[in-house]
Amino acid sequence: METDGSDGDRGHGGRAGKPADEQAGERPTTAGAAGREAVTFEWDGIRAGFFTCLPIALGVGGYGVAFGVLARRAGLSVAEATLMSATVLAGAAQIVAVELWADPLPVATIVLATLAINLRYSLMGAALGPWLDELSSIRSYGSLLLMADENWALTMRELTSGSGRGGFLFGTGIAIWVFWVASTIVGATAGGAIGDPARYGIDFVLAAVFVALAVELWEGRSTLVPWLVALSTAIVAAAVVPGQWYILLGGFAAAAVEVIRYDQ
């Protein structure tokens, strides 16, 4: 890893309009609070997270309606679909689960599929570790329970900017939870009246969020090798391995390559 050179790169790649002292927070997993704002958990951060996430939560609502429709078709009641959205809060896993729904109910298969699809959350939560570590257990674990792909992405963006707003994840999570549960009720109640969500481009929102995040996370040339490793691993794994293991494999492969070439 080109330690000295990459610090210079980061300086140049720094986002316009941010004070220079915030750049210090750009090395995401540096242990401890050295050189960046202390992480706090305040109303201001929670509120900022909630409102930043609102437009994206609206997109999540699109998936929620789709899930509600699918769940109803699979034979779940409105109450059961709503209970699942309120307690599981994991879009992809829930949609796969209702696709596996059958009589008799294959509980073991459904729970195993849920585990496989959601294992990526462990990596995502670990990536938030350096900031959450500075919060109390109840705040860090409580926030993590509300983590989904979309608000994890927003929170990474917020915290790598060095704002120190540790309540951000919790605020975004509340927005996601409210819209996810409400839209599930709408979808499950309204049934098939919605039609195809692809017509409104709702199915593209998640991909768009991740493209935007990739632009934010790009740190210059030092990022190129791990990203190419992640990309090639994920594309091969998605074609060969069933389920969503490719996300984990891509992430692990990139981290492994970085660990190996650390002092070279």
Query: Per rule CB under 8 A, is residue 198 in the interface with another protein?
Result: yes
Exposed/middle/buried for 106, CB within 10 Å: 0-12, 13-18, 19+? middle
Site string for another protein, 140-179 (x = CB under 8 A): xx--xx-x-x---xx-xx--x-------------------
Q: Which is nearer to another protein, 27 or 165 (CB)?
A: 27
The single residue among 102, 115, 190, 240 that binds another protein, judged by CB under 8 A, is: 115
- Stretch of 39-47, 176-184, 211-219 contacting another protein, by CB under 8 A: 211-219
Q: Rounded to an integer, what distance in angstroms lies between the CA atom of residue 190 and that of residue 203? A: 19
Query: Per rule CB under 8 A, is residue 241 in the interface with another protein?
Result: no
Rg of the chain (C-alpha set): 20
- Stretch of 9-17, 34-42, 43-51, 176-184 contacting another protein, by CB under 8 A: 9-17
Decide: 47 and 175 in contact? Cβ < 8 Å. no
Q: Which of residues 13-32 bind another protein (CB under 8 A)?
A: 15-17, 27-31
Query: Per rule CB under 8 A, is residue 190 in the interface with another protein?
Result: no
Exposed/middle/buried for 219, CB within 10 Å: 0-12, 13-18, 19+? middle
Query: Per rule CB under 8 A, is residue 37 in the interface with another protein?
Result: no
Place of tokens 């109450």: 79
Q: Rounded to an integer, what distance in angstroms lies between the CA atom of residue 119 and that of residue 225? A: 24
The single residue among 1, 24, 33, 194 that binds another protein, judged by CB under 8 A, is: 1
HEC assignment per residue over 69-82: HHHHHHCCCHHHHH
Query: Per rule CB under 8 A, is residue 136 in the interface with another protein?
Result: no
Count of chain residues binding another protein (CB under 8 A): 105
